[in-house]
Structure 1
């Protein structure tokens, strides 16, 4: 399959997910600063969810700029990844309404981690489906930055369980730039 149509589908699904997330932000009770401050947790978790979705879009945009063809395996793994990401609107509200709950943050982090793990499988499937694509083979010679991100998430889970549950969500945020800073995952 040609990757351009597949990219367009991914873009459309991510746009829908972002729209649902922003529609879930509650309206302020009135026009005061205090009313806006009362929904600050909802806005903070929305901003993080936006960054997660944008990071996924940016990753796929950069990735598919060097992909020539996609296999059924890549399509189904990406569909699985998009399904996991489609849970983000629900999890965003779950965390916003239960900000000090370990379970809420653990579920949010699990969505993040699951997407990263599926990305590792997608990378391997892409390498198999387009063996002659040197740029793709070089870009995916290792998954060091994804493994580092998973290690950061493990630290977040430990801190979240023993110290402060929002640490899990904080480490989601910290791990996003680690994907680009640590490894060669930026597809330069």
Structure 2
């Protein structure tokens, strides 16, 4: 199967997810700085969720730009990944309204872990569906970012459980920052 329509579907779903996230940001109660400061957690978690969505789109856009063909395993695994990822608007609001509570932060981190595991599977299935594509094989050969995401979020969950729940969301953001700043990881973009 060709990839153009599949890429368009991924783009459309991510656009909808970002739209829902931004629509969930509450309006400030009035035109003052204090009113804006009252929704600081909502805006912070929105900004993180936006970066997550953008990073997911960017990674997939770059990967699928070199993919020549896909098979049903890739399609269904990406469909499941997008389903899990589509929970992000709900989890964004859940965390924003309960910023210092472990369980919402845990669910947000769990979404990251499941997405990373499924993305690792997608990489494996892409390599299998397009074995003659040397560029794809090389790019997907060292996809450390998924393992790093899983480890960092688990560390954040441990810290979040015992001490500071927002550590989870911070640890969700760290792999994205690393991917954009560490040259070895940036090559995976």
User: 1:133 — aligned with what?
Assistant: 133
In structure 2, C-alpha distance between the alignment counterparts of 1:169 and 1:13, rounded to whole Å: 23
What is the SS of the residue equivalent to 2:141?
coil
Q: Deviations over 1:2-28 (max 9, x none)?
A: 111111110000000000000000011
Deviation at 1:186, TM superposition (A): 3.3
**Does the CA-based 8 Å contact 2:3-2:67 persist in structure 1?**
yes
1:48 pairs with 2:48: yes
Q: Deviations over 1:31-77 (max 9, x none)?
A: 11111110010000000000110010000011011100111110011
CA 184–100 in structure 1, closer or farther in 2 if over 3 Å, else same? closer
User: 1:20 — aligned with what?
Assistant: 20
Unaligned 5+ segments in structure 1 are none
TM-score by length of 1: 0.95
CA 115–103 in structure 1, closer or farther in 2 if over 3 Å, else same? same
User: 2:157 — aligned with what?
Assistant: 157
What is the SS of the residue equivalent to 1:140?
helix
Runs of 4+ in 1 over 4 A off after TM superposition: 182-185
**Does the CA-based 8 Å contact 1:139-1:185 persist in structure 2?**
no
Q: Deviations over 1:159-181 (max 9, x none)?
A: 11111000000110112123452
CA 88–112 in structure 1, closer or farther in 2 if over 3 Å, else same? same
In structure 2, C-alpha distance between the alignment counterparts of 1:31 and 1:82, rounded to whole Å: 37
In structure 2, C-alpha distance between the alignment counterparts of 1:108 and 1:15, rounded to whole Å: 19
Deviates more, 1:21-30 or 1:174-183: 174-183
Pairing of 1:1-188 with structure 2 (within 5 A)? 1-180=1-180, 181=182, 183-184=184-185, 186-187=187-188
In structure 2, C-alpha distance between the alignment counterparts of 1:119 and 1:51, rounded to whole Å: 17
Unaligned 5+ segments in structure 2 are none
**Residue-pair matches, total:** 188
In structure 1, C-alpha distance between the alignment counterparts of 2:187 and 2:50, rounded to whole Å: 19
| RMSD of aligned residue pairs (Cα, Å) | 1.4
Deviation at 1:153, TM superposition (A): 1.2
Deviation at 1:126, TM superposition (A): 0.3
In structure 2, C-alpha distance between the alignment counterparts of 1:70 and 1:17, rounded to whole Å: 24
